[in-house]
Chains A and B, each alone.
Chain A
Amino acid sequence: MKASAKRAVAVLILLLATVWVSAGGKQEPSAKAAIPGDWGKINWQQFAGTTINVLNLNMPVATVYSEFVKEFESLTGMKVNVELLNENDRRKKAFIDFSSHMGTYDVQSVGFANREEWAVPGYLEDLGPYLKNPKLTDADWYDFKDYPEGVIASGYAKSGPLVYLPYTAEYFLLWYRKDIFKQLNLSIPKTFVELRETALKLTKAREAGTIKEYAWTERQLPGPGEAGWSLFCTANRFNFDFIDFDKKVSYVNTAKGLEVLTYYTSMVMDYGPPGSANWGWPMMAESFKQEKVVMITGGNASYTYLEDATQSKVAGRVGYAPTPFAPCGVDPLWVWGWGINKDSKQKEAAWLFVQWATSKPLMNRMAPKYGCPARVSVYSAPEYVKAMPSQEFIDAQLFMMTKGINPYPQLIHERYAEGAEIVSKEMSNILAGIKTVAQAAADADKQLMALGYTPGEWTKQCK
């Protein structure tokens, strides 16, 4: 071999070796960084070397989790691939993975509304046996009783198994501008009548030029994930359900149904910004942050949107209160939890992730960053209290968790999407001025009849 060729080969080998080493070839694991917290008495390293795939919704708490995933990898020696998607895409991708039985995602973020639609076909693993397995779970350390009864009940499918463990407990709160309330000497509305009176006072103040904001807005973009959700939750606060999905009975075209539809549409038409009839959650939240409206209902998990001064003009000026209720009204609980894919090829390793992701030590560290943990002990932790925007926010949450939520809302049902689509589409006809409330309700009923529902009479009373 010529000398020049030998030199070239030597340089090439040197270059390849450099690239290989810097890309992290086969290296000895570096010394584990100390991970804060007590992690119980199980062997977290029992599945070291395993890789699991996790599908999560792109939301504030997912961003918080991403800060801690490396700690889990360090604790367990496992590798975690996390994919974040928006709600529509996440649900579709999850369904495709489940129904094809590929088991691509070992762990899925399960929303309350997903529970039955995934549990009924048997897509989710029963987590009960994992909680009871001493090799996999230190029961005393995990402290299952730390979940409030109403919140953990949401993790059980109607057929019985525990299909997910919650990490958030969410519901709507009334977000309001406390600076404007103070300026106009307004009290926080507790009932729908008071809410309308407050909205009227705010509207008069805007017309007089005292304030520039509109009084109120709600989600109006038709669809089960937007106006449908807000409308059905509002119905629950009226102590009413538009549809009984189990018995397939429609109450849309009843006196109570008309009352709720009239309230919802008249509030946004009379007191909301004009042209907001195609606003979904993002536009609604943005309008509040940009000082366009004084009051909206927003999830307790979304407070971080408001309190970031780089994105929100109202940071530091937001008040939080329980949503207004009619007598016996409640707000549907919403929960996000972690579930295991029944087709996962490494369920026990996946369980370690689920257990870690819902554990007390992690929740105590994460909750100050996202605000709505599912474990009740966290709400009195000093770090959590210090990190929340106000004691008013914590008190509003505790009120809702203990008195204001419905842990078994009708609308958490696999038939919800179709029913809510029909009702919200007809509601949008009311907002557009195309139909009256009576016409829209009657037409919604007709469409539900075509799907096999029967009209019913609403007889539930508040005692």
Chain B
Amino acid sequence: MRSVRISKSDRAFPYYSTLPAIIVVFLVGVVPTLYSFIISLQSYELVSPVRAWVGLANYLKLFHDTRFFHAIGFALIFGFAATCCELVIGFLIAYLLADKEVPSRYSSMIRTVLMIPFVCAPVVMSYTYKTLIYDRTFGYLNYFLGLLHLGSFDLFKGSINAPLGLLVMEIILRTPFLVIIMYAGISSIDLAIYDAAEIDGITWLQKITKIVIPSIRAIILVGFALRFMDSLKMFDEIFVLTAGGPGYITENATVFIVEQGFTFFHMGYAAAAAFLFLVLVIILISLLIRRIEF
């Protein structure tokens, strides 16, 4: 039997063709990250032309900053809560849309409508929620609550309303992404499996827990990882809707970093916070990715 010889140029082709992309990723990803790390080792204030090397002083200061720990804590808790809610709601919607009883044109139309808030710019949607939905003077939510005699919702009252308002907005805006990817997964399950299970007398709950979820487990984990990473670094929604308030209640790590760097101009301190946060996110996502088996 003749063996197939691959020429040198053919072997090198994959490397040549991916090299431009690798260079771009390196320049816009790796280089700024390294530069941020260098800045984090300096006492770099934008209001002062002097930059001094201070080693790990910025990092040590962060470990004594309760505001930073609160921001990290809020980012993790909010990110986890939002992602879990989006997964559950997204799964239910995807499961219903994938049901063979639902005509495909209706399913397609609903999926398209669901995607509308997802494809709009986050800052636009945040302003819409702030002024037209949540605001008690201009917004629709309180108007309809009033019509139904259900009281009112004040975003900046107490310490629960602002995080709750953010959570609801985030779920409405971001669930469609999970709906789409889980719909794709559920739709690809072989119908013969359902038929065989029905012959064995499976209930609807067993169908979901024994067939559907195990079949799309990898998709669920990938969806969780992507959404969790996204919600950890959420900025536009918080900045527009609450500016991190009331007080610091809704301030997450990203808002904290932007405030330190671009409101107070403590660039070195902000870079250290950003780097620490990056390390934390990499650890969390690595732990998650390990559990994904394709």
Q: Which of A88, A117, A276, A429 contacts B137 (CB 8 A)?
A: A276
Question: With A and B bound together, what is the CA distance between A99 and B51 in angstroms?
Answer: 11
B159 CB contact (under 8 Å) in A273, A278, A283, A432: A432
A122 at the interface (CB under 8 A from B): yes
Any chain B CB within 8 A of the CB of A417?
A: yes
The reply to whether A120 and B47 form a contact with Cβ atoms under 8 Å apart is yes
B residues less than 8 Å from A433 (CB atoms): 157-158
Question: Does A122 lie within 8 Å of B264, measured CB to CB?
Answer: no
* Chain B interface bracket (under 10, 10 to 19, 20 to 34, 35 or more): 20 to 34
Chain B residues lying within 8 Å of A428, measured Cβ to Cβ, are 156, 245-247
CB neighbours (8 Å) of A120 from chain B are: 47-48
A278 vs B138: C-alpha distance when bound (angstroms): 13
Find chain A residues with CB under 8 A from B246 CB.
Answer: 222, 277, 425, 428-429, 431-432, 434
B131: interface (CB < 8 Å): yes
Q: Does B259 contact A (CB under 8 A)?
A: yes
Q: Mark B143-175, 1 if CB is under 8 A from A, else 0.
A: 000000000101111110010000000000000
Q: Is the CB of A431 within 8 A of B156?
A: yes
| Contact across chains for A222 and B244 when beta carbons are under 8 A apart | yes
Chain B residues near A435 (CB-CB < 8 A):
247
B241-283 contact mask (Cβ, 8 Å, vs A): 1 or 0 = 1111111110000000001001111000000000000000000
Distance to closest chain A CB from B200 (angstroms): 56
Least CB distance from B123 to A in Å reads: 12
Interface size on A, residues (CB 8 A): 38
Residue of A nearest to B259 (CB): A421
Q: Is the CB of A99 within 8 A of B49?
A: yes
User: 1/0 per residue A62-90: CB within 8 Å of B?
Assistant: 00000000000000000000000000100
- Determine whether the beta carbon of B245 is less than 8 Å from that of A99: no
Contacts of A425 in B (CB 8 A): 244-248
Does B136 make an interface contact (CB < 8 A)?
Answer: yes
Cβ of A274 and Cβ of B136 under 8 Å apart? yes
A296 nearest CB across to chain B (Å): 13
Give the residue of A122, A224, A273, A432 whose beta carbon is less than 8 angstroms from that of B158.
A432
Return chain B residues, CB-CB under 8 Å to A278: 130, 155-156, 241-243, 245
In Å, the complex CA distance between A21 and B242 comes to 54
Report if A417-B155 is in contact (Cβ < 8 Å); known contacts: A120-B47, A283-B131. Answer: no
Q: How far is the CA of A271 from the CA of B91 in the complex (A)?
A: 46
Assuming the A-B contacts A274-B152, A432-B246, A432-B247, are A121 and B48 also in contact, with contact meaning beta carbons closer than 8 angstroms in the complex? yes
CB contact between A283 and one of B135, B142, B245, B249 (< 8 Å): that residue: B135
Q: How far apart are the CA atoms of A428 and B152 in the complex, in Å?
A: 19
In Å, the complex CA distance between A426 and B247 comes to: 5
Give B152 Cβ to nearest chain A Cβ, in Å: 7
Q: Does B46 contact A (CB under 8 A)?
A: yes
- Give B161-205 as 1s and 0s: 1 = Cβ < 8 Å from A's Cβ atoms: 010000000000000000000000000000000000000000000
Interface positions of B from 29 to 72, Cβ below 8 Å from A: 46-49
Min CB distance A196 to B, Å, is 22
Closest to B265 in A: A95
Q: Does A395 contact B (CB under 8 A)?
A: no
Residues of A close to B152: CB separation below 8 A: 274-275
Q: In the complex, what residues of B have CB within 8 A of residue A117's CB? A: 47, 265
In the complex, what distance in Å separates the CA atom of A283 from the CA atom of B156?
15
Bound-state CA distance A414–B130 (Å) is: 31
- A434 neighbours in B (Cβ, 8 Å): 158-159, 246-247, 249
A417–B264 alpha-carbon span in the complex (Å): 6
A292 at the interface (CB under 8 A from B): yes
Candidate in B46, B154, B264 with the most chain A CB atoms within 10 angstroms: B46
A121 pairs with B245, CB closer than 8 A: no
Evaluate contact between A275 and B142: CB separation under 8 angstroms: yes
For B130, list chain A residues within 8 Å (CB).
278
In the complex, the answer to whether A417 meets B263 with C-beta atoms within 8 Å is yes
* Cα–Cα distance between A417 and B265 once the two chains are bound (Å): 9
Chain B residue at smallest Cβ distance from A282: B131
A420, closest chain B residue (CB): B263
8 Å CB contact of A275 from B49, B155, B245, B247 = B155
The verdict on A223 contacting chain B, using a C-beta distance below 8 Å, is: yes
A289 to chain B, nearest CB (A): 12
C-alpha spacing A117/B262, complex, angstroms: 13
A222 (CB) vs chain B CBs: closest residue: B245
Q: Is the CB of A92 within 8 A of B262?
A: yes
Complex Cα spacing A120 to B47, Å = 7
A221 to B137, CA, bound (A): 15
Q: Is A149 on the interface with B (CB-CB < 8 A)?
A: no
> What distance in Å separates the Cβ of A225 from its nearest Cβ neighbour in chain B?
9
Give the distance in Å from the alpha carbon of A432 to the alpha carbon of B163 in the complex: 13
Contacts of B263 in A (CB 8 A): 223-224, 417-418, 421
User: Which of B49, B154, B247 touches A122 (beta carbons < 8 Å)?
Assistant: B49
**Binary contact track A201-235/B, C-beta < 8 Å → 1, others 0:** 00000000000000000001111101000000000
Among A108-158, those with CB < 8 Å from B are 117, 120-122
Query: Does any Cβ of B come within 8 Å of A300's Cβ?
Result: no
- Say yes or no: is A56 at the interface (Cβ < 8 Å to chain B): no
Hey, what's the 0/1 contact readout for A422-456 against B, CB within 8 Å counting as 1?
A: 00011011011111000000000000000000000
Contacts of A222 in B (CB 8 A): 243-247
Q: Is A287 an interface residue (CB 8 A)?
A: yes
Shortest Cβ distance from residue A264 to the other chain B in the assembled complex, whole angstroms = 15
Interface centre among B131, B158, B162, B265 (most CB of A within 10 A): B265
Residues on A with beta carbons closer than 8 Å to the beta carbon of B138 = 283, 286, 290
Per the bound structure, the CA–CA distance linking A418 and B263 in Å amounts to: 8
**A423 shortest CB reach to chain B, Å:** 12
In the complex formed, the residue of B with least CB distance to A223 is B243
For A286, A426, A433, the residue with the greatest tally of chain B CB atoms inside 10 Å of its CB is A433
Smallest CB-CB A-B distances: 3 pairs: A275-B136, A277-B156, A432-B246
Cross-chain pairs A/B with CB under 8 angstroms, 26 sampled:
A99-B46, A121-B49, A220-B156, A222-B243, A222-B247, A223-B263, A274-B152, A274-B154, A275-B136, A275-B142, A277-B156, A278-B241, A283-B135, A290-B138, A417-B265, A421-B259, A421-B263, A425-B248, A428-B246, A429-B247, A432-B156, A432-B245, A433-B157, A433-B158, A434-B158, A434-B249
Additional A-B contact list (5), CB under 8 Å, known A283-B131, A417-B265: A99-B46, A99-B49, A278-B243, A428-B245, A432-B157
Chain A interface (Cβ < 8 Å from any Cβ of B): 88, 92, 95, 99, 117, 120-122, 220-224, 226, 273-278, 283, 286-287, 290, 292, 414, 417-418, 421, 425-426, 428-429, 431-435
Interface residues of chain B, those whose CB is within 8 Å of chain A, are 46-49, 130-131, 135-138, 142, 152, 154-159, 162, 241-249, 259, 262-265
